[in-house]
Amino acid sequence: MNIKRTDNTSTVVILNKSEQHIKSFQIKTKHLGRLKHYSAGIFVLVALLIGCICYLQNQNSIQAQEKQQLLAQLKAKGTLPVNHAKTGTGISAQSYIQSIQLKLRQINDYLRKRGLKEFSTTGEGGSGKAEGAKLSEKDAYMYYDEYLKHLVAAVGFTPMGYPRSSSFTSSFGFRGDPFNANSAEFHPGIDFAGKKGDAVKCTANGKVIFAGWNGGYGNCVQIAHGNNLVTLFGHLSRIVVKVGQAISVGDKVGEVGSTGHSTGPHLHYEIRKDGKAVNPVNFLTLNK
């Protein structure tokens, strides 16, 4: 490579091994003097980029290791949070109590939506019985934690409380036929007073298995829950759910009406166990 200089520009000539001219181009002469500075700047920039890449790779590796350690701790059966400074036992009493209180708050949320009295979430942590005192702290935690998980699920998927807050107009069992005073009929549910358009709410988590016209029930919704339990809402003026829809306690399923075999606006409410109607009154409160 040969360089021919003038006052303002320089011509750079590129030669091959036999010194034959291949290509030439012109650049400003001042840039030739700064070539070392440019090279140094490029070197520093490349070094910084390499350093940043190495740093980020190292951070990702550290985070991946921490994640694996956390997953291993969560998967370890019976592993409890460690807090030696507070308990001296390797078991965090504070974490244990917070876990119980979280589950009780879930239960209370279900109860509150049903208009039922809530459980206390203070001072929990054991039964206080002599049998419970014999358990190690680890066994006690596992026992109560598992118990509360089942309790949360049971409360969530068991129809309890009122589909609407109002008085009864008819009870479960045999009664006089409202359309024929000279005969009697079996009433498989309870009726709640209401005006057309009043909201009707689901009493447990579940899935809608029927939503439409159902003979004497008129506009009707049926919801399947756990333990082969099904709730039925009849005589609705309007249905707001669809078959196959997942539904939670407190969700609106429809509105009070007088469709089907009905003498006036009210809600007909049934609970069926294994396909057989049972008295819904037994499910209106936890206090039997």
Beta bridge partners of 219: 213, 236
Whether residue 15 has pLDDT greater than 70? no
Does domain 168-283 bear CATH number 1.10.1740.10?
A: no
Confidence class for position 21, pLDDT limits 50, 70, 90: low
Distances (CA, A) of 284 to 34, 171, 182: 89, 13, 32
Categorize the per-residue pLDDT at 220 as very low, low, confident or very high, splitting at 50, 70 and 90.
very high
The pLDDT value given to residue 123: 42
Establish how many alpha carbons lie within 13 A of residue 150's alpha carbon, considering only the half-sphere containing its beta carbon. 6
* 141-176 residue pLDDT tens: 677 677 777 777 777 788 888 898 778 888 888 877
Write down the pLDDT at residue 128.
47
Q: Is the pTM of this model over 0.85?
A: no
Predicted pLDDT at 83: 43
For 235-251, how does the pLDDT look when each residue is reduced to its tens digit (9 = 90+)? 999 999 999 999 999 99
Residue ranges of the chain that CATH labels 2.70.70.10: 168-283
Look at 39 and 194; give whichever has higher pLDDT: 194
SS (HEC) of the chain: CEEEECCCEEEEEEECCCCCEEEEEEEEHHHHHCHHHHHHHHHHHHHHHHHHHHHHHHHHHHHHHHHHHHHHHHHCCCCCCCCHHHHCCCCCHHHHHHHHHHHHHHHHHHHHHCCCCCCCCCCCCCCCCHHHHCCCHHHHHHHHHHHHHHHHHHHHHCCCCCCCCCCEEECCEEEEECCEEEEEEEECCEEEECCCCCEEECCCCEEEEEEEECHHHCEEEEEECCCCEEEEEEEECEECCCCCCEECCCCEEEECECCCCCCCCEEEEEEEECCEEECHHHHCCCCC
Beta-bridge partner residues of 21: 15
The per-residue pLDDT for range 75-128, each reduced to its tens digit, is 554 444 444 334 444 445 556 666 776 777 777 777 777 666 666 554 444 444
Radius of gyration of the chain (CA): 38
- For the record, the structure tokens of 161 come out as 């409380």
